[in-house]
Amino acid sequence: MKVHLILQSKGGCGKSLLTWFLANLYANDESVVFMDIDESTQTSSSRLDSILPKGQSIFYPILNEQKKLERELFLNLFEKISRLSATNVFLDFGAPESEEFRKLLEFEIDAKSLMEELQLLGIELILFVVVAGRDAFASCTRFLTSLSDLVDGTIPTKILMNEGTFGGFEGIAIGKQNIEVLGHAAIFPFGNLGDSQSGKDVIKIISNGQKPENLSLAVKLTFKKAMNQVENLMINS
């Protein structure tokens, strides 16, 4: 079983957007489960209900009363996951949960030990770290760098670049170069819906928690382009 953690300690960078596209990719695959563990907003849960059959999307908070992530609480989550009849599980972490996961690796359990624990449960862990542009870029890359140092190549990590937040082709190119300078070569784009009306219509569908159906030709092509990016990510994961 593969378990993908969608992470970023900066809010509003596109974690739930990525989850929404992934849910559309696997909407007809009962072997794929989505878990929203973002206690503060529960964005994924509210948006995925219209896309996924009942039972394929689960809300599961993991922070304690002090809003901290404890080792036992975290491992209990994976014990629950290991009992699911699923081949792929996607966990949409909120910003606080993402930062607590980073602290967990820093202070509680190192990446190698975590992987060994999860392998005993039959779980292969993969990290999806989302990076957004503009004012969020510095915060996103700080989290990415800190997490990468803690993981140190032990856990497979994919960098997801939310192209829609980089202000066009030039901004995307510069952002990619800046990420590569940090030593990260495997960068996967997503979320580039453009500034056209069709892109705005896709965003409206997502925001309203609607199922993408009966689309106009322009919206359908924009949606398909965005889905192709996510398909490429999963082919290479």
pLDDT tens digit sequence for 3-53:
999 999 999 999 989 999 999 999 989 999 999 888 765 566 667 888 888
- Asked which of 30-44, 140-154, 160-174, 211-225 is least confident by mean pLDDT, the reply is 30-44
Query: Measuring CA to CA, which residue among 117, 109, 98 is closest to residue 5?
Result: 98
CATH number at residue 94: 3.40.50.300
- Condensed to tens digits (0 to 9), the pLDDT of residues 107-155 reads 999 999 999 999 999 999 999 999 999 999 999 999 999 999 999 999 9
| 128 contacts 5 by C-beta, under 8 angstroms | yes
When pLDDT is cut at 50, 70 and 90, the band that residue 165 belongs to is: very high
Task: Give the phi and the psi of residue 195 in degrees, each rounded to 5.
Answer: -105, 10
Q: pTM of the entire structure? A: 0.93
Strand ranges across the sheet with 32-36: 57-59, 32-36, 88-92, 2-7, 124-131, 157-162, 187-190
Is residue 117 a contact partner of residue 75, using CB atoms and an 8 Å limit? yes
Q: Give the domain extent around 67.
A: 2-235
Report the domain count for the chain.
1
